[in-house]
Chains A and B, each alone.
Chain A
Amino acid sequence: MAELVAVIASTHHPFYYRASTATGEERPPFADEWVRKITAFRETLTKARPDVLVMVGSDHFHQLWLDNMPQFLVGKAPFYDGNFYNEEREFGLPRMLLKGQEDLSTYVLREGIDAGFDLAFSNELRIDHSITCPIITLRPQNDLPIVPIYTNIFAPPLPRPKRFVQLGRTIRQLIESWPSEQRVAVIGTGHLSLELGGPRQFGPHGPAPEFDQRAVEWISTGDIEGCLAEVTLDSLHAPGNATHGFMDFMLMMGVAGEGRKADYVDTYDLFHTMEAYFTWYPNGGPR
């Protein structure tokens, strides 16, 4: 069977690429420390020596639209182009091409549907910065095939937090039962507190530092029950109007497992939002 060699949860700050590649006067003062943190985080994936990446993210009204909106969607294609015109325009993100791991997509879809998730699928999926950002930060050589999984954290009605955790648990079961000798890492990205297009946006910190502190505690200790006891679709409005992206962190807690402490934890308090980076090694350490 395949081996789950790393579980990684991260924010997907679209400005990292521009900040980290800027030089001279263009380079923001926080860039060097950010690059240092990302380089250390990257090492946690490199050490796990994955062959395949399952990438969990969320389309930001790029290919998925309100006339036909899936809650959970799995890409099944030989390749995925990455990044859209408005992400080049606003964030300076580059066009990318990623290879797909189609046999694992096939397996996740068939077995995931049989396990109780009516997963949507796409045979021609252009992925956006929720998936390309972690490639840029964690695997910039972009040499591994992926299975993209999109969640709807954006267009209500949304699935409830518990459903995200359940999907995470199911993704783990599916990877560990995949008849293959491949080493698989799951990388999922979301947000801590975040406000976009509202009065609390683009402040000196994230809109709700106290929520961020709680969130980092839940994630780093694997406290799924504590998190589910407090986080609801309604409660997520309070820390910021885009904070429903935290549910992708909850999905990743489901992948990592109840009570499972993260093996690597780091954060970086930036303007606008707090960065957060977590790695779990399901089998006790990188091998």
Chain B
Amino acid sequence: MSKYLVNKFLYTVDRDPELVERYREDPEGTVAWWEERHACRILNCHGGESSTWVRFDDTERAALAGHDYPALFELGAHPFLTLTLFIAMFERDYEEPLGFQQEYARRLSHFSLPYPDIAT
């Protein structure tokens, strides 16, 4: 399991406006493309110095490809990263202010303390 890599996906997609839209429209394709092309890239290094070993496990890949934020919470993805990116993708679909944020809380309502560990 690689909480780090899940976080890296959320982090790198969130900061790129085009990738935010691409992930919204085609989650499965974006996750596959990102894992193939970008997962191994060390952010401060050029492509020839990429890591050789990082990859998602099947559960992580499915959670990301399914836009499944309750599953991401359960896997210990950093909740700030998940929330920020998912607000960017889905807040627009709700008419009421904070409508998406409240729906998000409701869908996580089966979790109680202690929450899944987010340490990487």
Closest-by-CB residue of B relative to A28 is B97
Residues of B near A271 (CB, < 8 A) are 98
Is A84 positioned at the interface, with any CB of B under 8 Å from its CB?
yes
Number of B residues with CB within 8 Å of any CB on chain A: 36
| Minimum Cβ distance to chain A for residue B17 (Å) | 7
Binds A, one of B23-31, B58-66, B99-107: B99-107
Residues of A near B105 (CB, < 8 A) are 198-203
| Minimum Cβ distance to chain A for residue B50 (Å) | 12
Which one of B80, B88, B104, B108 lies within 8 Å of A61 (CB-CB)? B80
Supposing A90-B88, A199-B108, A201-B104 touch, asked if A66 and B80 sit within 8 A by C-beta, the answer is no
* A241 with B79: CB separation less than 8 A: yes
Number of A residues with CB within 8 Å of any CB on chain B: 28
Near B by CB (< 8 A), chain A positions 174-210 give 196-203
**A-B pairs with lowest CB-CB distance, top 6:** A197-B79, A197-B83, A199-B108, A156-B119, A202-B101, A199-B109
Distance in angstroms between the alpha carbons of A198 and B70 in the assembled complex: 9
Distance in angstroms between the alpha carbons of A68 and B14 in the assembled complex: 19
Near A by CB (< 8 A), chain B positions 19-55 give 42-44
A-B residue pairs in contact (CB < 8 Å), sample of 29: A61-B78, A61-B81, A65-B11, A66-B4, A66-B7, A66-B8, A66-B120, A68-B44, A85-B17, A86-B14, A86-B15, A89-B88, A90-B84, A90-B88, A155-B120, A196-B79, A197-B78, A197-B79, A197-B82, A197-B83, A197-B104, A198-B73, A199-B105, A199-B111, A200-B105, A201-B104, A202-B102, A238-B113, A242-B79
| Minimum Cβ distance to chain B for residue A63 (Å) | 10
Supposing A157-B119, A198-B111 touch, asked if A67 and B43 sit within 8 A by C-beta, the answer is yes
Residues of B near A197 (CB, < 8 A) are 73, 78-83, 104
